Structures are given as C-alpha cells and as structure tokens.
Structure 1
C-alpha cells in the first residue's frame, strides 16, 4: 500500500504518518508533498493507493494556501487523467471554515472530507476503515478465484474442439481488454463443479500469448492455466498425432545471429508445473480410449505416444530441416515447436498474485522439416484436449490444498 500525503503543515503530516505507521504501514510507503506542484511530480513518478490531501493547499513553495489549488489538482487527476488516480482520495483539513467552503466541490472529486483534530479520533477511525479495505483487497489478490483457465491459440479447431470434449457449461463470449475473446462458466469433474474460463488468441505468437495469459491470470486468479492444440514435431522424437508434454519451453529465436548465419542462443527456459507433468506421464490408457473413440476425421492408425520434453516457441513458422539444426544445438531431446507455449509459461512464472500451475500439452500435426498440412489438425486438437482433461481431473482428485 502506498500513500501520498499532501499538506503544508508539518505537525499534521507527522501525526497522520505516525498513525499510519502504528497501523502497520511501512514508513517508506508514505510519500510527502508540501504543495500542489510537488504533488503533481510525485503522482507522475509512480501510482498511489491513497491520496491524503489538505483542503487548503499552496500552489507552490511559499504561496498562500487556498482551496482552488487543491480543486485544480483534483480535477487534473480525476477528470483530465493526467496522472493515475489513487483508489482513495481523502480531503483532510484542520480549518473548519475551509472545510465548509470547499466540501461541496470536494465531494464530487474525493472519497471523503474529514476534519483533522488531534483531540478526537474521527480522522483516525476513517483511515482505519480505509486500511482495512486495502488489506482485504491485497489478501484477495493472493487467493485463487477460478479453478481453471484454458488458453488456446486458435478458436477453430483447437478451442472449439476442447469445448466439445470437456463437459463445460459456458456463458456468452465476452471481450477482455481489447483483444481477448473468452467465455466463463463451469466444468464438472467427478461430480464436483469447477469454475472455468476459456479463451483463444486474436493472433498467434508468443507476445500475444504472454499478454493474454498475464491478463487472464490477473482477471481470474486461477489455480491452473493450461493450453492444448497442435504443434510441430521432430521426426526422431515423435510421429504425427503424438502428444508433447511441454516440461519446459523457451524462445528458440532469442540470441544473436552471427555473420556466418548461425544463431548464438540466449536460452531462458520456463517450466511447466512438475506435478502436472507427472500426472500427464500416467494417462496413456485414457489417451488410448480417447483415440479409439475418435471418428469422422483422419487419425493415426495407433494411439499416440506421450512424450515429455521441451517445446520451443517462436514467432516464425518453421518448415526447414536446416532450422532444426539450430534447435538441436539448444537441446538434444527437443520434442515439439509451437508459437505460444513459452509466452504462457513466462507469464505464469512471473505472476505475482495467487499461486498458479501451468501446463501445455499439444499433439503433433506436422513435422517441422516438411511441408505443412492440416490433415490431422482436428484429431490433434481432440486428443490434446482429451489428454489435458485427464490431467486436470487427476490434479483436482489428488488436490490437498
């Protein structure tokens, strides 16, 4: 919690600051400004949760305090949007007449106006309520809200197929931010109802997936964020239809290209959740059952293998064996390549809110050294969704927290 205390009277500043510290606020989180000009500078430098503002404020150092200076500052914050508006803006004055003169105008711009009197505890009670609200909000950010967020690259066939495979009940599609289309609802797991949000990207690539994942994590604070769909594979490790369990991922394009046309990589791997990877290694029988049930589209003759290994991510489509040599120099057991996994893993690993586990399971729809085809995309979307459903089911069945 960060406070900006704007007041030209030192004794009042010290009394308020000392009270906040006594309630557990770190003194370093209380920033002081003595006039409106200094307050503008502080607001432009960083955001604050609470602004405590003297009703009668000097415009600059040495100027006479007046209500119009405080009102002008507030209008710039609240109406003009020149600075990030604090969540709470509280007018505080020791001048009863000043409060009466400007209270009506302040009420349109601030949360509350209170009278500061060292002899009573009204202003302390008000600040205590604000602190309680802020603490509850901070605590809420550290707890999970939704159970599962699904983030797929494509609406069709990836997400649409998942919604056919998973027993979900979802509401109408909604827009989050400017480009994240998603639906929320429930998922039934072993007779238990879980809250779920399902989204797809507006465009492919690691930047789009990192942005969408970070936004969804902040909005829904899920226990799990997962990704299914299709990927490219490497023929020595996998065949068409095989499932790649991404135990780790990184941006294969990060690094420095030399004059000889070689990439000196700068690998920054991010891991999938170890327990989810472990569950995924055990679902071969469930995958075989799902494979046998699949009809209506082309599918491999035998049930897919489950291959746990790195899935590298890049913003470029790869259909060249020469480029594979670049990959193999980064990790000898590389299994898959896509355009989104690393973005989601990166967002999850840097999420500062409630604990979240992440995993990407994708099925190999093409080999990265051959021409692209879409013969198996429907099947791969289906089998990856079925595999992930089994992982999610195992996770919640064995959940202890």
Structure 2
C-alpha cells in the first residue's frame, strides 16, 4: 500500500501517521507513507507517483519554511483530478468546521471525502474505512486482451499461472499470474474495434493496471512479414476512416504509437535470440525456424479480410505496414486516452496473408508464440518499472 500524506503541521502529521500504523498493524512499513509538507512537493508527488490513498490538508505554504500557509485546495484538487491518481481513495482532514469551508463542492465533485480533524476519533474512523476499502480492491498489475477464446487458451502454454474465470462488471475475466504479478486476461463479447474499445476502456478505468497488452493472430503483408512472425504494433491505425466521395474512398487514418521508451525495449527484445528461442520452444512448424519479431506498423479494421487486392489497398496507407488485424487500434487509443496512462503494446502472429487461401493451419502455434512473447515482455516491463 502507498499513501501520500500532505500535511505541514508536525503534531497533526504524527497523529495521522500513528493512526495509519495502528490500522495497518504488521502490514505497515516505512515505505507505506510518503510525506509532503508544502504545496509544491504535494503537487509534484501527485503527478509523478501513483498512490492507493491521498490524505489532503487544505492550508499549506508554497515552499516549507518560506512564506505563510494559504488555502491550496484548488491547486491540489486540480492536480489530483488530472493525474493518474484520479481514482485513488482520498480524504481531506481539516481543523475547520465543514460549514466554514467555502469550496466544499470542489471536494465532492472530485470524490474527496472531507472530514473534520479534531480530538474525537471520527476522522480516524473515516481513515480506517478508506484503508479497508483499498484492501477490498482487486490487485491488478496488468491486463491482457484477447479477442478469441483460443487466443486466451494459448496462455496454458506459457510460464504463467491461470486462475478461474469471473464475470466482473459484465466483463469476461480470467485471473492470471506472471511471476510475482497478478492480472487478468479479458475477452470482449465479440471481435472487432467497437467491442474492444468498450471493453478495454472499461477495464482500464476500473482496474487501473500498470501495463496493458494484446496477443493473438493476424494477417501478414507479403514482402513485409512471413508466416508465424510476431508483429509488435509500433504504429497502429484504423484503415476504415476516411470519406466516400464520387464513388471513391479517400483515406484519413489516425495513428496511435508506442511510447518511445517502450518501443526501444521491444525493438531490443526483437533482436534477442533468447527471446525467439523462448517463444518457439517445443513447437515444430518449419516456418518457426526463420521466424522474426517485427516491431512494425499494423492496421486495424472490423472486417475479416480474405482478398489480396484489398490488402494491397490498405497497404497504400503505410509502405512498411506488416500486418492487418481487428482490434489493436482500439486498445492503443483506450490506453492513451486514459488518465491512468498505463504502458501498452500489442503483439500478434502472422497466420495468413489476407488472401483467398486464408485458413487455420497456423492458428494454434500462432496463438502460443504471441502469448509467450506478451507474458515475457509484461514481466520484463513490470520488473523494470515497479
């Protein structure tokens, strides 16, 4: 558990800390609480780090030891509402009567519980309820999205541990553990961009994961990818956007991209022989001998494509496009637009070339190698960033 305690008055701060120590008991360590004793430090912590609980004070100096206390509630609430902590538990402890607080509506609208701090134990009881509520939340370090049941089933062939399936807020979730990290594999009700957009947006906002990913299968582009290559979408867009005019479709694709830092890590992983050996271990399709992990452009659309000419038409949108699939752009946009700002990436294996010879010959091994790659990259990123 991580708690941000914003308070400049030493006696009050120590009393709040003592209450937290008592509530947490043996679960308390010195790393639980981060202290901020001025507004500058508080706002920096709110924007920089993610906390399970934020405890606000309303009156603070801008910089400790310089100037007088002033009402900083507007700045603190603005920072909280716009940061990755916007859905964290929060409480403001004030020594003023609540009837005297002019901007009480600001706290209410931001979901911050306002409680009077005095010699009674009421504030401590409210604090205990907040901490207990945190303990009831589902621990979710990551989420993996799969559009098909067989894509999710492929995780049986990884080093992860699969748990039971649950209906959580209408979402088809399955527990999964990768090393020391816990998460879900979530399958939308149907394939396609719309269902993935709704499900991924809902899941990211509810679970607040640190990283989200997608695995599965896709169509490759001749000359840019081969059967059972893994395509990691460096750039992703929806090929269906644009305008029909005078019988001609004028394309207007909008692109989403990997973060530069994650892109660098994934490119380096694609060049690792150890990574390639891991994902194809125990699989014997001849195409796996020369398989590559390609961090390349990939396009999304809600239709299954089995037409070589249409694949060429989509390819005009990016000369280095390596694959086409049906959901990834929605995941990239959902993650990019979320205030929680999780890392995100998608990796799908090539099982056909989008022409009339489309079949399911490579589906089983394709789902396995993409699942193995995703679990490996999630583990590496969580170990690096936590």
Q: State the 1:20 CA deviation.
A: 4.4
**Aligned residue in 2 for 1:181:** 172
Q: Is the 8 A contact 2:213 2:345 kept in 1?
A: yes
Partner of residue 246 from structure 1, selected from 225, 233, 237: 233
Q: Give the distance between the partners of 1:268 and 1:395, measured in 2 at CA.
A: 27
The structure number with the bigger radius of gyration is 1
> How many positions carry a matched residue from both structures?
288
For residues 263-302 of structure 1, the aligned pairs below 5 Å read: 264-283=250-269, 284-290=272-278, 293-295=281-283, 298-300=285-287, 302=289
Q: Is the 8 A contact 1:286 1:387 kept in 2?
A: no
Partner of residue 349 from structure 2, selected from 342, 363, 382: 363
Q: State the 1:342 CA deviation.
A: 0.6
Structure 2 residue 158 is matched with structure 1 residue 165: yes
Partner of residue 300 from structure 2, selected from 309, 313, 330: 313
Partner of residue 212 from structure 1, selected from 182, 196, 199: 199
Q: Is the 8 A contact 1:287 1:383 kept in 2?
A: no
Q: Cα deviations across residues 27-53 of structure 1 (Å, max 9, x unaligned)? A: 6x489xxxxxxxxxxxxxxx8859xxx
Shift in CA distance, 267/129, structure 1 to aligned 2, threshold 3 Å = farther
Structure 2 residue 377 is matched with structure 1 residue 391: yes
What SS is found at the alignment partner of 2:294? Answer: strand
Q: Note the residue ranges of structure 2 that are not aligned, 5 or more in a row.
A: 1-76, 79-96
Q: Give the distance between the partners of 1:48 and 1:389, measured in 2 at CA.
A: 36
Q: Give the distance between the partners of 2:325 and 2:316, measured in 1 at CA.
A: 18
TM-score by length of 2: 0.64
Q: State the 1:176 CA deviation.
A: 2.4
Shift in CA distance, 361/292, structure 1 to aligned 2, threshold 3 Å = closer
Q: Is the 8 A contact 1:244 1:307 kept in 2?
A: yes
Partner of residue 147 from structure 1, selected from 112, 130, 141: 141
Shift in CA distance, 203/129, structure 1 to aligned 2, threshold 3 Å = same
Q: Give the distance between the partners of 2:309 and 2:361, measured in 1 at CA.
A: 24
What SS is found at the alignment partner of 1:302? Answer: helix
Q: State the 1:291 CA deviation.
A: 5.5
Shift in CA distance, 390/282, structure 1 to aligned 2, threshold 3 Å = farther
What SS is found at the alignment partner of 2:174? Answer: strand
Q: Give the distance between the partners of 1:325 and 1:195, measured in 2 at CA.
A: 41
Q: Cα deviations across residues 59-101 of structure 1 (Å, max 9, x unaligned)? A: xxxxxxxxxxxxxxxxxxxxxxxxxxxx99x9xxxxxxxxxxx
Q: Give the distance between the partners of 2:126 and 2:280, measured in 1 at CA.
A: 58
Q: Is the 8 A contact 1:294 1:379 kept in 2?
A: no
Q: Note the residue ranges of structure 1 that are not aligned, 5 or more in a row.
A: 3-14, 32-46, 51-86, 91-120
**Aligned residue in 2 for 1:373:** 359
Q: Is the 8 A contact 2:279 2:370 kept in 1?
A: no
Q: Is the 8 A contact 1:206 1:343 kept in 2?
A: yes
TM-score by length of 1: 0.62
Q: State the 1:130 CA deviation.
A: 11
**Aligned residue in 2 for 1:69:** none
Q: Cα deviations across residues 285-321 of structure 1 (Å, max 9, x unaligned)? A: 13431365233x7451523112111111111111223
Q: Is the 8 A contact 1:151 1:199 kept in 2?
A: yes
For residues 31-180 of structure 1, the aligned pairs below 5 Å read: 145-156=139-150, 158-170=151-163, 172-178=164-170, 180=171
Q: Give the distance between the partners of 1:261 and 1:214, measured in 2 at CA.
A: 33
Q: State the 1:340 CA deviation.
A: 0.8
When the two chains are superposed, the root-mean-square deviation of aligned CA atoms in Å is 3.6
What SS is found at the alignment partner of 2:370? Answer: helix
Q: Is the 8 A contact 2:140 2:209 kept in 1?
A: yes
Structure 2 residue 101 is matched with structure 1 residue 19: yes
Bigger Cα displacement from structure 2, 238-247 vs 212-221: 212-221
What SS is found at the alignment partner of 1:364? Answer: strand
Q: Cα deviations across residues 200-247 of structure 1 (Å, max 9, x unaligned)? A: 222100111111111211222111101111011110100111111101
